[in-house]
Amino acid sequence: MEICIQNLFQTVMPLHEFAGLMRGGSFTKAMFEECRAKMEEFRALCKQNRERTEQVQQQLARVQAEFDQIREHYQQKSDLTYEDRQKQRAAGRRLDRAKAAVKANEERSKTELRNFYLMIQLWAKGKTEDRRSWAKALWSIVTQSTHEKASGALFFQAFPQELLDAVIERTGGQPVRLQMADLPDGKIRYDEDGNIFLLESYVASDGSEQQKQIWLFQVSKGRIWMDGTPGERIQSFPLQAGQGAIRHGEVIFSDISQRPTVRSGTVLRTFEDRRKFLKRAAERYGTKFVVFVEHDPQSRRIIASVNDLQLFLQGAEQRPWVAAPFEPAAK
pLDDT in the model for residue 319: 76
Considering only residues 262 and 123, tell me which one the structure prediction assigns the higher pLDDT: 123
Please state the rounded mean pLDDT for residues 206-223: 84
Domain limits, the chain: 5-170, 182-257, 266-325
For the ranges 121-125, 136-140, 221-225, the lowest mean pLDDT is seen at: 221-225
pLDDT tier for residue 166 given thresholds of 50, 70 and 90? confident
DSSP per-residue letters across 205-258 = TTS-EEEEEEEEEEEETTEEEETTEEEEE--------EEEEEETTEEEEEEEE-
- Residue 207 CB-half CA count within 13 A: 0
Average predicted confidence (pLDDT) for the chain: 82
For the ranges 52-56, 114-118, 171-175, the lowest mean pLDDT is seen at: 171-175
130 pLDDT exceeds 80? yes
Domain range 266-325, CATH class: alpha beta
Considering only residues 43 and 173, tell me which one the structure prediction assigns the higher pLDDT: 43
Note the pLDDT tens digit of each residue in 149-163.
777 888 888 888 887
Please state the rounded mean pLDDT for residues 257-281: 76
